[in-house]
Chains A and B, each alone.
Chain A
Amino acid sequence: DGGITQSPKYLFRKEGQNVTLSCEQNLNHDAMYWYRQDPGQGLRLIYYSQIVNDFQKGDIAEGYSVSREKKESFPLTVTSAQKNPTAFYLCASKTGTGGLGGANVLTFGAGSRLTVL
């Protein structure tokens, strides 16, 4: 079955540690996204990538980094510079980019819950 796989589902981190969240899709989608979800704040865009080896900052990119070396993979690193990293992280993808891809639907992974101890 096609879909998006996020791992790990739950992750605990000590303060000062970097952690990497994995996102893999087998949908052959062009664009991939990382969102952060906090209670009462909806989803906020961290980073997105429309093609391999290219990515752009979203609304809350500070303290995060990404790479897009393969079309299928878009890992997110939460660095020690992120002051409040405890949250639920969602990866998504869609086919099509630019204006023509605007109507296309995002497919989401099941999420990764990061807790800082």
Chain B
Amino acid sequence: AQSVAQPEDQVNVAEGNPLTVKCTYSVSGNPYLFWYVQYPNRGLQFLLKYITGDNLVKGSYGFEAEFNKSQTSFHLKKPSALVSDSALYFCAVRDRTGANNLFFGTGTRLTVIP
């Protein structure tokens, strides 16, 4: 069975500091992995995805994520946080079978403190 864990409900970081939002996954075979961001009362917006190849994936707004197969992790990172990065972040996984459904983590609320 597929699953995603985001171990931190809340992450606080000072503006200008690096940020990390953690994600671990469980899936049979090789996964597709995604990060989405949600601003208040809005739908989710795509940030980045891992399909294959380079383990470091770069996405929108300066975010990047590193796929680590041995640790089954896909942590989201940014070198220098902005106040505007404050939002709810979701990690998601999909397996490569025909079922093709996307499983989401419970979300991590990121607050960047000015």
Contact B90 A111, beta carbon cutoff 8 Å: no
Contacts of B9 in A (CB 8 A): 40
A99 within 8 Å of B (CB atoms): yes
Given contacts A99-B96, A99-B97, A99-B98, whether A42 and B42 have CB atoms under 8 Å apart is: no
The 3 closest A-B pairs by CB, nearest first: A108-B43, A42-B106, A43-B104
Q: Are B44 and A102 in contact (CB under 8 A)?
A: no
User: A90 near B100 (CB under 8 angstroms)?
Assistant: no
Of the candidates B43, B95, B106, the one whose C-beta lies within 8 Å of that of A40 is B106
Beyond A42-B90, A103-B32, A108-B43, 10 extra complex contacts between A and B, CB < 8 Å: A6-B43, A33-B102, A40-B106, A42-B107, A90-B43, A90-B44, A102-B32, A106-B36, A106-B46, A111-B43
Q: Contact between A58 and B97 (Cβ–Cβ < 8 Å)?
A: no
Q: How many residues of B contact A (CB 8 A)?
A: 25
Question: Could you name 28 residue pairs across A and B whose Cβ atoms are closer than 8 Å?
Answer: A40-B9, A42-B105, A42-B106, A42-B107, A43-B90, A43-B104, A45-B101, A50-B100, A58-B101, A92-B43, A92-B44, A98-B98, A101-B100, A102-B32, A102-B94, A102-B95, A102-B100, A103-B32, A105-B46, A105-B49, A106-B44, A106-B102, A108-B36, A108-B44, A110-B42, A110-B43, A111-B41, A113-B41
